[in-house]
Amino acid sequence: MDSFDAIFERAAQRKGGAKAVETLLPKTKSAAALRKISDDRWLSAMTKVIFQAGFVWKVVENKWPAFEDAFHGFHPARVAAMHDEELEALMKNDAIIRNFAKIKAAPHNARMLCDLAAEHGSAARFFADWPANDIVGLYDYLKKHGKRLSGSSAQFLLRQMGKDTFVFSRDVVAALIAQGIVDKEPKSKAALAKVQTAFNAWAEESGRPLAHISRTLALSTGPTLEHA
């Protein structure tokens, strides 16, 4: 496994220098900032990534004000209380995307957030305080307790909210394979544990957040700048 410095240097060679790489690194929020995000924004973001999966993101974004109205501003307690008749009525609302399986996920995830709030004071606090050195554990939690929040949906959710995490984009997976950490996209617990261990080592070496390491890995693979 290469050092992070070596990976960063490779990324810099491909993208026009260290400064160019730095401008491409994602921003993350501190735990304090994450705790200030209201739980309705977490539910809104969860629902959005679910509807974005396999769909044109721009269409979902343009329709989102209508989703906010249809789901009562995504107040977790109110959405958790939505009954079957109310959900079925949304299938007649042409202002939103009428996918009943995805519509039904919202109350389920709202109940999860309500349970987290009851235990931790707020769901935001739960997400904020989850340790970065076990981010695969958070993915697993969302998969087990959430609805339609496994795989890339969980990764995109956390990245969009500012939680420090890595994502398994095609380029990140290619870089992990090149590093000999995995031989394909990591999905098993054993493979995910290997990835987490590698990211933890790079984080300790570099002092960088997981999101920076993840993006640097992606930028380190593929064509050089001259051939991009």
- The strand ranges marked E within 110-219 are none
Query: Residue 187: phi, psi to the nearest 5?
Result: -130, -30
Give the global pTM.
Answer: 0.92
pLDDT of residue 226: 37
Q: How many angstroms separate the CA atoms of 89 and 69, rounded?
A: 13
Specify the amino acid at residue 42.
Answer: W
Rounding to the nearest 10 degrees, give the CA dihedral for residues 199, 220, 23, 203: 20
* Residue for token pair 């590698």: 198
Q: How many angstroms separate the CA atoms of 14 and 33, rounded?
A: 33
Q: Residue-wise pLDDT tens for the chain (228 aa)? A: 999 999 999 999 999 999 999 999 999 999 999 999 999 999 999 999 999 998 999 999 999 999 999 999 999 999 999 999 999 999 999 999 999 999 999 999 999 999 999 999 999 999 999 999 999 999 999 999 999 999 899 999 999 999 999 999 999 999 999 999 999 999 999 999 999 999 999 999 999 999 999 999 999 986 544 333
Positive or negative, the Cα torsion across 115, 120, 123, 128? Answer: negative
pLDDT of residue 223: 55
Tokens of 155: 């990764």
pLDDT of residue 228: 32
DSSP 172-216: HHHHHHHTTS-SS---SHHHHHHHHHHHHHHHHHH---HHHHHHH
Angle, helices 189-206/135-145, rounded to nearest 10 degrees: 140
DSSP 7-21: HHHHHHHHHTSHHHH
Domains of the chain: 4-28+166-222 (no CATH), 35-131 (1.10.340.30)
Q: How many angstroms separate the CA atoms of 74 and 47, rounded?
A: 9
